[in-house]
């Protein structure tokens, strides 16, 4: 009996303790969570836990201040190259340096419209290619604060900076990235590497990779001094760090000769980032010189870089016409209904950089047929205007005109109609920036065919299940 009394007493003490503990915890919970939702000065009474999980740790988007350019050139050719750089360089905005092989005494005082100049010839007795490979080291030493990307290129390359930034934003600048493209020429890639970013087209290095290169470059240069180009040396060094090339088709080496209008009229579905070797090909527009052509292309680029050279294909079935648009550059009219997969192949208006490769190019091409149903009427970009009201841009209107007659008989089979009378084409596009990543090419409608020998095309987003043909 006495044992049972003791057990009952212990049970009561335990229950009493549990009640006290429960009351204490209840008070704490009330203090923590009793918040006045209408008060603007409410404080939550909680222990000092680490709340880093809830902080917004996302970095700011990559902008032009995060990119540094390392540009190679020579004093001997600078006077013929400078207009390429000055077409895209933005004084007091873009960062970087032009590395020349010697002091440009005859070009002093140095113009503020050109990048700041450095001399890369301070390693006397070393091959020119080695000195050029050191540009990445010199660029990194000169600019390494608040930098995310280093872009290496040549002095005869032009860049489209907004498109470059949109490409770089896709990648983590804290990772190890080597971004660029190989050559359009099979032979050039065979001689060097199919996995090399050609420096003429330009290639981008993320900060960690550029830092690793800069700190270990002497070892790499000694190891690969037998290679014949700085691009190949740097590519071999980068491979030793375990990094491969990330291909971006918007960089263009242009290892081609002659008329590249066929290539530019069928640009891949990706932002146009760069063009190289423009002094080795014909002017981009007829009846102009190279500098005038470049300035003219930049006119459309200033209005909408996101659409520049982007291809859209649409049809006017009453006349059996097919339109292929390269925004800001050209419009082609075919007097026949042709599928998109055919028109996305560039017309081979150009020639090989070096003879002997078979196949010659890294892209499939269409030959210059004499069939009038497969040779287009060609219209080139002429002007651009922004329309709208109340101070708001609502549409962009680009005009394309016929520069040269086609000089072929019309394609009159199967009820087709001649387009010889068309002199001008107007293209209406939205103001909204075009996103190419994971998107479809823009669709278009022919909204006016015969008014005053002109045709009007309107670009628009494709409907969900819409097919262009």
Determine the Cα–Cα distance for residues 361 and 272; give it in Å rounded to an integer. 19
What the block records as the tokens of 52 is 């880093």
pLDDT at 8: 42
First and final C-alpha spacing in the chain: 99
Measured CA to CA, the distance from residue 364 to residue 362 in angstroms comes to 7
Residue 109, preceding peptide bond in cis (omega within 30° of 0) = yes
**Residue 77 in tokens:** 């050719």
Q: Which domains does the chain have, with CATH numbers?
A: 64-253 (3.90.550.50), 288-460 (2.70.130.10)
Q: Do residues 74 and 101 lie in contact, with contact meaning Cβ atoms separated by under 8 Å? A: yes
Dihedral of CA 225/227/228/233: which sign?
Answer: negative
For tokens 């080496």, name the residue: 253
- Cis status of the peptide bond prior to 103, with omega within 30 of 0: no
Provide the strand spans (E) within 223-327. Answer: 245-247, 256-258, 274-275, 311-316, 321-326
Of 459, 469, 152, 462, give the one whose Cα is nearest residue 306: 459
Helices and strands (H, E) in the chain, number of each type = 11, 19
- Total-model pTM: 0.85
Question: Which residues on adjacent β-strands are paired with residue 385?
Answer: 397
As a whole number of Å, the CA-based R_g of the chain is: 31
- Beta strands of 138-202 (E only): which ranges? 149-154, 158-159, 178-180
What pLDDT is attached to residue 131? 74
Per-residue pLDDT of the chain (469 residues; tens, 9 = 90+): 434 434 445 545 544 555 455 555 454 444 444 444 333 333 333 334 343 333 334 579 999 999 999 999 999 999 999 999 999 999 999 999 999 988 999 999 999 999 999 998 655 545 667 777 889 999 999 999 999 999 999 999 999 999 999 999 999 999 999 999 999 999 999 999 999 999 999 999 999 999 999 999 999 988 998 888 889 999 999 999 999 999 999 999 999 999 999 999 999 999 999 999 999 999 999 999 999 999 999 999 999 999 999 999 999 999 999 999 999 999 999 999 999 999 999 999 999 999 888 899 999 999 988 888 899 999 999 999 987 655 566 899 999 999 888 878 888 777 788 899 999 999 999 999 999 988 999 999 999 877 778 999 999 999 999 887 7
Check residue 384 and give its pLDDT: 96
The span from the CA of 336 to the CA of 351, in Å, is: 27
Asked if 469 and 339 touch (Cβ cutoff 8 Å), the reply is: yes
Pair 143, 67: CB distance under 8 Å: no
pLDDT at 144: 95
Residue with tokens 């409410």: 42
């Amino acid at each position: 009996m006495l044992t049972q009394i003791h057990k009952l007493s212990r049970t009561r003490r335990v229950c009493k303790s549990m009640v006290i503990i429960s009351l204490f915890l209840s008070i704490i919970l009330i203090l923590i969570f009793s918040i006045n939702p209408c008060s603007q000065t409410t404080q939550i009474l909680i222990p000092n836990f680490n709340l880093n999980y809830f902080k917004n740790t996302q970095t700011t988007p990559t902008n032009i201040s995060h990119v540094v350019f390392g540009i190679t050139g020579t004093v001997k050719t600078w006077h013929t190259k400078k207009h390429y750089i000055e077409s895209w360089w933005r004084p007091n905005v873009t960062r970087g340096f032009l590395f020349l092989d010697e002091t440009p005494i005859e070009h002093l005082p140095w113009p503020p419209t050109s990048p700041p100049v450095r001399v890369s010839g301070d390693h006397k007795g070393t091959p020119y290619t080695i000195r050029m490979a050191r540009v990445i080291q010199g660029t990194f030493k000169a600019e390494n604060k608040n930098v995310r990307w280093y872009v290496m290129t040549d002095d005869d390359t032009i860049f489209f900076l907004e498109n470059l930034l949109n490409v770089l934003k896709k990648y983590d600048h804290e990772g190890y990235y080597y971004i660029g493209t190989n050559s359009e020429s099979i032979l050039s890639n065979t001689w060097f590497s199919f996995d090399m970013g050609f420096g003429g087209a330009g290639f981008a290095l993320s900060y960690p990779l550029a830092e690793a290169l800069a700190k270990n470059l002497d070892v790499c240069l000694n190891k690969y001094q037998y290679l014949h180009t700085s691009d190949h040396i740097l590519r071999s060094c980068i491979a030793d760090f375990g990094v491969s090339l990330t291909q971006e088709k918007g960089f263009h080496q242009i290892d081609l000769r002659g008329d590249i209008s066929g290539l530019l009229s069928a640009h891949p579905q990706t932002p146009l980032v760069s063009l190289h070797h423009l002094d080795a090909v014909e002017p981009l527009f007829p009846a102009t010189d190279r500098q005038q052509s470049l300035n003219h292309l930049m006119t459309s680029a200033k209005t909408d870089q996101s659409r520049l050279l982007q291809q859209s294909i649409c049809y006017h079935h009453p006349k059996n016409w097919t339109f292929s648009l390269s925004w800001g550059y050209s419009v082609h009219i075919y007097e026949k209904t042709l599928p998109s997969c055919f028109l996305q192949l560039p017309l081979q208006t150009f020639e090989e950089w070096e003879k002997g490769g078979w196949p010659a190019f890294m892209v499939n091409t269409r030959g210059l047929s004499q069939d009038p149903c497969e040779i287009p009427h060609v219209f080139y970009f002429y002007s651009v205007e922004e329309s709208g009201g109340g101070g708001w841009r609502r549409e962009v209107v680009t005009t394309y005109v016929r520069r040269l007659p086609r000089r072929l008989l019309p394609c009159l089979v199967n009820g087709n109609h001649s387009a010889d009378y068309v002199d001008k084409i107007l293209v209406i596009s939205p103001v909204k920036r075009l996103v190419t990543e994971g998107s479809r090419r823009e669709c278009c409608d022919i909204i006016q065919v015969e008014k005053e020998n002109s045709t009007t095309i309107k670009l628009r987003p494709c409907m969900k299940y819409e097919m262009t043909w």
